[in-house]
Amino acid sequence: MERYESLGLVGEGSYGTVLKCRHRESGRLVAIKKFVDSDDDKTVKKIALREIKLLRQLRHDNLVNLLEVWKRRRRWYLVFEFVERTLLDDLEQNPTGLDLNTSRQILFQILRAAAFCHQQHIIHRDIKPENILISQCGVVKMCDFGFARTMTSPAEGGVYTDYVATRWYRAPELLVGDTKYGKAVDVWAFGCLLLEMLTGQPLFPGDSDLDQIYHIVRCFGNLTARHQELFYRNPGFSGVRLPEHSGRVPLDQRFPTIPPTALDLAQSCLHMDPERRAQCSELLEHPLFTQDAFHIRFVDELNAKIQKDH
Ligand SMILES: Oc1ccc(-c2ccc(-c3cc(Nc4ccc(CNC5CC5)cc4)n[nH]3)cc2)c(O)c1
C-alpha cells in the first residue's frame, strides 16, 4: 500500500473496505478494496478468491475495471479504476429526477453491463444507485460485485442460500427467501432504478423486509402462488398475514406523467413472476432505446466518450 496515498473511504462492503487512493508515482486515482485478514478466516479467503475469479471474467466498457490484485501481510487487495461519481450522487443533486434523455443514456449502459454479466452466467445481485458509477464524460461503469454469483447452471438460476441485495431493489423471490432465483433479480432492480431516475424518489422504500413486500403488493397485487407458499413457510414471517391487495395503486396511476414508453419498459422488468420479466438483452431493443434510432446514434457517441475517458 506504500505505493498509494489513501484519500479516504469510498464504501464499506461486507468483506472489506473500499478506499479512494492516489498512485504516488503516476498520480492515478484508484479504488482499492482491502479484504479483512484472510489467513485465519477460511471463509474470507474463499470469498476473496471467488470474487477475484469472477472479476477477472468481467471485462467490459460498462463495468469497472480491475487493475491489480495483490496480497500483502495476509490481506488481499483489489485495485480498481476510480470513477468520478455515482448515480446516487446525481440523484441527490436532482431530487425530482433526471431528464429522459440523460436517464436513457445511463439506463442503456446499465443494460449493456448487466446483459454482459448475464451472458457470462453471472448475476450482480446488488444493482442500486451507489453501484452505478458515472465518469466525467458520462460513461457508466457498474461496480461492486461483492455479492455477485456465478449461476450454478448456465440454463438459469441456481440454488443460493446466502443473502444479498439492498432491500429497496430486492425482487419478491429474494424477499420471501426463494433459494432458486436467477438473473431476473437484476432485471427487477433495473426496473426500480428506472423509475427512481425519472422521479427522483425510490420506487419501493421499504423499512423492513415485510414492509418491502407490502410496498410491492400494494402496487402489483398478490405474490405468485410459489412466493406466497414460501412466505408462509418462512420462519422470519411466522404468524404474519400477507396484505390484501385491496386499494392497489398500479404504476400508471402512481406515475401519470412518466412517458408511456418508459413506463412500459419498467413494467417489463417488474413482473411478480421472475419468468415473465424481460431479459436485459431484449430490453436493449425496447422502443425507449430504438425510437428515434437512439441506440444506433448513442453507441457511436459512447465509443467516443470511452476513448476520451482513457
Ligand atoms: O468485488 C468488488 C468490490 C469493489 C468494487 C468497487 C470497485 C470500484 C469502486 C469505485 C468507486 C468509485 N467512485 C466513487 C465516486 C464517488 C462515490 C461517492 N460519492 C460521494 C458521496 C459523495 C463513491 C465512489 N470508483 N471506483 C467501488 C467498488 C467492485 O467493483 C467489485
Task: Tell me the best of 36, 66, 123, 133 to mutate to test the pocket of ligand 1, counting ligand atoms within 8 Å of each CB and taking the most.
Answer: 133
Q: Provide the residue-wise pLDDT of the chain in tens; the chain has 310 residues.
A: 789 999 998 876 544 588 999 999 999 999 999 887 655 677 778 888 888 898 998 999 999 999 999 988 888 899 999 999 999 999 999 999 999 999 999 999 999 999 999 999 999 999 999 999 999 999 999 998 666 676 665 455 455 555 556 799 999 999 999 999 999 999 999 999 999 999 999 999 999 999 999 999 999 999 999 999 999 999 999 999 987 767 899 999 999 999 999 999 999 999 999 999 999 999 999 999 999 999 999 999 999 999 988 7
Cell numbers given for 50: 471467488
Task: Tell me the best of 10, 47, 55 to mutate to test the pocket of ligand 1, counting ligand atoms within 8 Å of each CB and taking the most.
Answer: 10
Question: Which residue CA neighbors atom 29 of ligand 1 most closely?
Answer: 144
Ligand 1 center to residue 80 CA distance, Å?
8
**Contact 308/137 with Cβ under 8 angstroms?**
yes
Question: Which residue CA neighbors atom 26 of ligand 1 most closely?
Answer: 82
- 121 CB contacts (<8 Å, ≥6 apart)? 150, 151, 154
Cell numbers given for 259: 412517458
Question: In the annotation, is 126 catalytic?
Answer: yes
Give the number of the atom of ligand 1 that is nearest the alpha carbon of residue 11: 23
Q: What is the DSSP letter of 208?
A: S
- 147 CB contacts (<8 Å, ≥6 apart)? 14, 124, 125, 126, 164, 165
Q: What is the DSSP letter of 63?
A: B
Helices 294-309, 100-119: axis angle to 10 degrees equals 80
- 301 CB contacts (<8 Å, ≥6 apart)? none
Ligand 1 center to residue 199 CA distance, Å?
24
